[in-house]
Amino acid sequence: MKRVDFVSPGARLEEAFRKLEAAWAEAQPHWNDAVSQKVEDDYLLPLRAQIRSLTDAISKTSQTMRRAEWECQHQRERGGSL
Residues 27-45: tens digit of each pLDDT: 999 999 999 999 999 999 9
Residue 51's H or E segment, with its range, is helix 45-72
Per-residue confidence (pLDDT) for residue 47, from 0 to 100: 96
More confident residue, 21 or 5: 21
More confident residue, 59 or 77: 59
Are residues 65 and 2 in contact, defined by beta-carbon separation less than 8 angstroms?
no
Percent of the chain past pLDDT 70, that is, above it, reads 90
**pLDDT tier at 78, thresholds 50, 70, 90:** low
Does the reported pTM lie above 0.75? no
